Amino acid sequence: MILVSSCLAGMEVRYNGTHSLNQTIRELIEQNKAVSVCPELLGGFFTPREPAEIIGGDGDDVLDGKAKVVEKSGRDVTDMYIKGAYAALEKAQDIHATTVVLKEYSPSCGSAMIYNGRFENEKMTGNGVTTALLTRHGIRVISEEQLAELVVS
């Protein structure tokens, strides 16, 4: 079974109330080969919500207490991001997910690139908080940009 970002499945759960539909992901859901999760909603956020970025590092640094997640207006929401990451981990473990496909660039779900923490619409190398936690628990995380690597049984 595969776990995927809810926004990739077409759900309007992004901070601004939109989705990031990926047709392949939607088909996996329809074929009961994947289930979706939105770590930010599990962390206690609603849609729409303020955009947030990681300041001082990436998801691994957040887990290590060296960086924080902050909304554009300045509110520290690190604890909510960590809570959402643990809830997503629990879901991944519940369904014995072999692979997880998460939305690139998100402070929760990014796996190769995230925004740089200055709200400049600039990206940098790094992962999101949920991706960092899942990876630390031996779960393979890829993004929608790596779907060609996905082998679904």
Which residues from 29-58 bind ligand SF4, rule CB under 6 A?
38-40
Q: Using CB under 6 A, which of 5, 78, 127, 131 touches ligand SF4?
A: 5
Residues β-bridged to residue 115: 123
Comparison of 63 and 153: residue with beta carbon closer to ligand SF4: 63
CA pair distance 122, 145, nearest whole angstrom? 18
Which candidate, 138, 85, 137, places its Cα nearest to that of 110? 85
Task: Walk across the sheet containing 2-5 and list its strands.
Answer: 34-37, 2-5, 99-102, 140-143
14 binds ligand SF4 (CB under 6 A): yes
Quick one: which segment of 6-14, 66-74, 92-100, 132-140 binds ligand SF4 (CB under 6 A)?
6-14
117 binds ligand SF4 (CB under 6 A): no
Report the greatest alpha carbon distance in the chain. Answer: 44
141 binds ligand SF4 (CB under 6 A): no
Contact residues: ligand SF4, CB under 6 A: 5-7, 13-14, 38-40, 103, 106, 108-109
